[in-house]
Amino acid sequence: MIRKITIFFYVFILVIINPSTDYLALAGTVGGISANGFTVSSFTANPVLVVNPNNPVTFSMRGVIDLAAYSRHCGDNNISSYVWSLKLDLNNEEDEVLTSGTQSFQRTGQSIQTSVTQSTRLPAWSGPDANVYMLIECGNTGYIYNTNVIESPRVRITVGTGELIWACVAGDGTYACSPGNFQNLSDVPACAGRTPLQINVNICGQQAPGGGGGGGGGGGGGGGGAPGATQSFNFSITNPILADNLIELINVIATWLFNLAIPIAVAMIVYAGVMFLTSRGDTAKVTQARQILVYAVVGLAIIMIGKGFITLIESILNLGGTP
């Protein structure tokens, strides 16, 4: 009996410690959220209304990398970077690359958090509605270069197009435009005493972001809100656990429990082995060591099965998403 337990002990240790083993290797989820070891937790754009194409938009992506799955997909167990590209979705044409770069990371732990923030201008011809996404590709692995990993969800941005017109931010927070295109706004009663600025004619009457306006084209224009204009301020708290729904929260908790269970299980198994060696035929010690070994194996198995079950449910729920 002791010999069987010893053999099982060595097999168990080899399987747990071997980094090339992936117990929870299920198909990567689709829908632009998680695939090939890369999870896009959020992808945002600010602002979503571009008054003038000369004004930049700031894009931010937050994600989590499962190093084992990402390395396997890219064909390099030591890969420590990825290539990101901000792209404009052109439907039936080849998508336009707005800007791109390489993001490096440290291979610490089983998974790491990563983020990219980049500001860029959108082409004037991309309006009035531009769909932008971030493409993640493998870094230079020496084997495979720029292999697609995942595409983020699209964000829609309204881009000002056409000729510029003099306007102001009215008291209700919307753009009030001058019918005669006068810089002094003399033909717009709602602009009395307000700061003139140039905007694209197609966004007249729309809500101004933050109650302020940006200058553009050949005219001036301030960045802050006009006197007396309604302004809104955004306040947000960064989500430290990178979970946007219940499934992701359960997955994060399960991953944390799994990472915690491995060292505890290994310590219990080692302790049980020491008890076997020092029992000297004492039946009570042998029985206690056997129970400790069984508890460690069963507990770790429950954690592994639970995390695999959660990953399976998440994959099924995301089958109907957009790849």
Q: Report the C-alpha gap between 221 and 210 in whole angstroms.
A: 15
Residues 145, 135: contact at Cβ < 8 Å?
Answer: no
Q: Which 3 state secondary structure label does DSSP give 117?
A: strand
In angstroms, the Cα distances linking 53 to 33, 48, 136, 183 are 29, 12, 26, 20
For residue 161, the model assigns a pLDDT of 57
Given a cut of 70, whether residue 4 has pLDDT beyond it is no
Spatial CB neighbours of 21, under 8 Å, sequence gap ≥ 6:
15
CATH architecture label of 33-159: Distorted Sandwich (2.70)
* Least confident window among 12-16, 84-88, 277-281, 283-287: 12-16
Average pLDDT over residues 252-266: 83
Distant-in-sequence contacts of 284-291, Cβ < 8 A, 24+ apart: 286/2, 290/5
Q: Is the pLDDT score of 144 beyond 60? A: no
Q: Which amino acid is at 6?
A: T
pLDDT, residue 291, reads: 92
Residue 297 has pLDDT above 60, yes or no: yes
SS3 content of the chain, % helix, strand, coil (to 5): 30, 25, 40
Q: What's the pLDDT band for 318 if we cut at 50, 70, 90?
A: low
| Per-residue pLDDT reduced to its tens digit, 207-246 | 887 654 444 333 444 444 444 445 555 566 666 666 667 7
Residue 251 pLDDT: 72
pLDDT of residue 146 exceeding 80: no
Higher pLDDT, 200 or 63: 63
Residue 126 above 60 pLDDT? yes
* Residue 17 pLDDT greater than 50, yes or no: no
Whether the pLDDT of residue 22 is over 50: the answer is no
Are 32 and 150 spatial neighbours (Cβ–Cβ below 8 Å)?
yes
Integer-rounded Cα radius of gyration of the chain: 28
Average pLDDT value for residue range 105-132 = 82
Would the pLDDT of 19 be above 60?
no
Average pLDDT over residues 42-52: 77
**Residue ranges of the domains in the chain?**
33-159, 164-207, 246-319
pLDDT in tens, 80-118: 899 999 888 887 778 888 889 999 998 888 888 999 998
What is the greatest pairwise CA distance in the chain?
103
| DSSP-derived secondary structure letter, 114 | E
DSSP secondary-structure letter at 301? H
* CA-to-CA separations, 318 to 215, 247, 270, 314, in angstroms, rounded: 43, 11, 41, 6
CA distance 315 to 309: 10
**pLDDT: is 46 or 38 the higher one?**
38
Q: Which residue has the tokens 């959020």?
A: 42
Of residues 190 and 246, which shows the higher confidence score? Answer: 190
Token pair of 157, please? 């941005």
Q: What pLDDT does residue 232 have?
A: 56
Mean pLDDT for the chain overall:
74
More confident of the two residues 234 and 259: 259
Say if pTM beats, i.e. exceeds, 0.85: no
